[in-house]
Every structure is written in C-alpha cells, then in structure tokens.
Amino acid sequence: MTTILTGALAVRVFLSFASGFFLSYVLRTISAVIAPALTADFGLTNAQLGALASAYFLSFALAQLPLGVWLDRFGSRRTNAALLAIGALGCLAFALATSAWMLWLSRALIGIGVSGALMAAFRAFRFWYAPERQQQLAAWMMLAGSLGALTATLPVHGLLPIVGWRGVFMLMAVLLAVVSVAIWFLLPHEPTQPVQSLSSQWVGYFDVLGDRYFWRYAIPAMVLYSSFVAFLGLWAGPWFINVVGLDAAAAAQALFVVSLALMLAYLLLGAVLPALGRRGWTVPRLAVWGGLVMLISLASITVVEASWAWWLWVPLAIGSTAFMIIQSHVSLTFPPALTGRAFSALNLVLFAGMFLTQWLFGVVIDLMAAIESIGSGPPAFRAAMLLWVVMQVLAYLLMIAWRVGPRAQTA
C-alpha cells in the first residue's frame, strides 16, 4: 500500500530523515579532520588510527541485517528514532573517553546509532512518494549527506581550537537527540504492511543475496564507492599532508573543496535525473561512466607528484555520485515486502567495504613502509593506493562484462 504525501507534510518527512542522514555523514567524515588531535592525544599508529575510524563502519555493517528486519517489522519512523538515540549516547561516550579502546567502543556505538539513517529514509520514501520520484529523492538525500561531509571539514576544524574534539562530540550528541525526538513525534505512521514471522523475515535475505543482478552492482559499488567514502572519511586528510605536502589547515581546506564538489554534484544530479531518464540515461549507464571517471581520477592521484594534485580528488568525488543512486535502483527491483531487507543487504556490502578499506589501507601503508625498497612516507602511501586502483579496475570490468539483468526484465 502506498500513501502519497503532499505539501508541508511531504517536506517535513523528507527534512526529518535528511537531518538524521546529515548528522550521520558528519560523524562518518569527521575522523579525517580530528585525526591529528587523536593521534597526538593517544599516540596512535596508522594501523591503530585506521582501526579506530573503521569501528564506525564495522558496527554499521553488522547492524544492517537486523536493521532490514526491524524496518520491515516496525517501520522507518520507530526504528530510526530509536537508533539515533543510541547514536547520541555513542557521541557522549566518545566525548568522555579516556583511552583508545573506549574511543573504539564509542565509535562502534555511533555506527550502530546512525546505521538506519539512510535506509529508513529510502524505505519510507517507497511508501510515501511516487515511484518516479525515488531516484531524485535518493540524490537529494545524498545532497544532505554531502553537506554533512562539508560541515565536517572547515567548520569542524574551526571549532576545534574553541571547544576541542570532545566539545564537538558533545554537540553532536545533542543534535542527534533532537532529531530522534523530531522523527518520533513529528512524522506520520507509515502504511501498514503484512506482518511476517521473524523467521520468515530472516529467510527473505536469501532471496535478496541470491539475486545475481544484486551482486553485479554490489561488488563494484563496494570496491569503488565504498573505498571513496573510506578515503574521504579518514585517509584523504593524511594523504594531503603526507603525500601532497599540505599543512593541517590547508588539508582541511582541500577536504572542504572536495566535499563541496560532492554536494554540488548531488545537487545537480537531483535536478537533472528526471531529464536524463527521459533521454535514455539509466542509472546503470550513469554508473558505467561514473566508475570510469573514478578510475582515471584515482590512478592520477596515485602517480601525480605536484602540489595541486589534491584537485584530482574533485572528479573522484563527482564520479562517485553515480554509485550512490545505484543503491536505490537495485533495491527497487525487489518486491515491496522486501524493501527494508534489500536496502540493508546492499548497505551491508557497502559498509563492509568501507570498514575494510579504512582499516586495511592503514595496515598496508605500514607494511609498505617496512619494505626497504619502498620506504615510509609518500612511497608507502602511493604503493598502497596502487593496490586499490588494481582492485577497482577488476571490479569495474566485472560490472561491464556480467550482462545479467534484473529478474523482472530481460537479461
């Protein structure tokens, strides 16, 4: 059953979910800016820093399978409001942490708390907005997320001398609590869906994960898009400092520009998607071209040695936008009863990729630095990035060569 919302109520619903996703993206990206402060306060290595930042993605990924069941059983409003309250507690614990392991646990709790911010919105949109609006709404949501990434750069960098990283997380705790209350009390109840047993709901994942079209795009999205998010959320900052040679303030400015480009790309994409669709530019076609832009950009980032090389991250960010809307496209090929599980299954794959990239990239840097023929510093960073370029080329070729189509269409 679908109930199409109109007017002020439609705007309120979108803004409520978008606010939660905005905050989740601030928390996802903030590690790149506060990394120097955390390293100084706790004496972290590259591998430890990567493990700490990736705790968000690990817990986020692990929450996705139960999240899909919760969304289909309890609805987006109740599920997202409850989870955001948990995220607020995680931010409070992070602000009060006195050791590295407390930071890790708090970061993991934050990941659980914001794990439903986007999936809850996508599921609610399917029942509250017209089908032809779905891809556009997905782009608008990512606009809100990219605005969060933008906020996590220069604005957060400017707050650090005033309130410190602990004060920033105190503020985030308050904002998450406010959005949680707003979603719970200001949003309408969703259209009722047939209630299945818990065992039946878990079995539904086999239908999703056994779909070949799902994996045709899940694998390249995991390797290309997830890597970009992981880099932007942590390793872009150290790359700008250690490889490009920027200082901390200039690195924050570069992150701001990249995040601004990402936000503007989503703004433009949301505006032109309907017209592109009428001209035959399907979401899979956009993914092919977006992936090509990402590959060329990342390969250039790996080899170019110049002070302006940080600008190469701008086309990388723009190309990534095509892979975010592929998530909505693939999930909408499943029946409405599987909506929550389809979204969360793909999100599980994406965030598993983000966790692995944030953690393993730091591990690989340290391993490369230990090889005498490579050495530490920029050579170790470039050698690690080259490995990611090779993996992304293979994933991109898989997406193009595997010609399977959605089950409702001709392969």
Quickly list H helices, 187-310.
198-209, 212-220, 226-230, 236-239, 248-278, 283-303
pLDDT at 411 (0 to 100)? 34
Torsional class of 245: left (φ above 0), alpha (ψ -120 to 50), beta (otherwise): left
Flag whether pLDDT at 374 surpasses 90.
no
* DSSP codes, 67-122: HHHHHHHH-HHHHHHHHHHHHHHHHHHHHH--SHHHHHHHHHHHHHHTTTHHHHHH
CA separation for the pair 16, 198 (Å, rounded): 29
| pLDDT band per the 50, 70, 90 thresholds, residue 409 | very low
In the numeric block, which tokens belong to residue 62?
A: 């692990």
How distant, in Å, are the alpha carbons of 79, 249, 251, 350 from that of 121?
11, 35, 32, 17
Flag whether pLDDT at 231 surpasses 80.
yes
User: Could you report the per-residue pLDDT of 107-132, keeping only the tens digit for each?
Assistant: 999 999 999 998 899 888 888 888 77
Taking the whole predicted model, whether its pTM rises above 0.85 is answered as: no
pLDDT at 410 (0 to 100)? 35
Of 69-73, 153-157, 200-204, 319-323, least confident by mean pLDDT is: 200-204
Flag whether pLDDT at 309 surpasses 80.
yes
Proportion of the chain above pLDDT 90, given as a percent: 38
The mean per-residue pLDDT over the stretch 211-225 comes to 92
pLDDT at 252 (0 to 100)? 83
| pLDDT band per the 50, 70, 90 thresholds, residue 218 | very high
Q: Hey, what domains does the chain have and what are their CATH numbers?
A: 10-188+211-401 (1.20.1250.20)
Residues 6+ apart with CB under 8 A from 285: none
pLDDT at 244 (0 to 100)? 92
Flag whether pLDDT at 194 surpasses 70.
no
pLDDT at 401 (0 to 100)? 93
User: Could you report the per-residue pLDDT of 30-46, keeping only the tens digit for each?
Assistant: 887 888 888 888 888 77
Q: How far apart are the first and last CA of the chain?
A: 29
Flag whether pLDDT at 200 surpasses 80.
no
Flag whether pLDDT at 93 surpasses 90.
yes
CA separation for the pair 87, 105 (Å, rounded): 12
The one-letter code for the residue type at 183 is I
Flag whether pLDDT at 346 surpasses 80.
yes
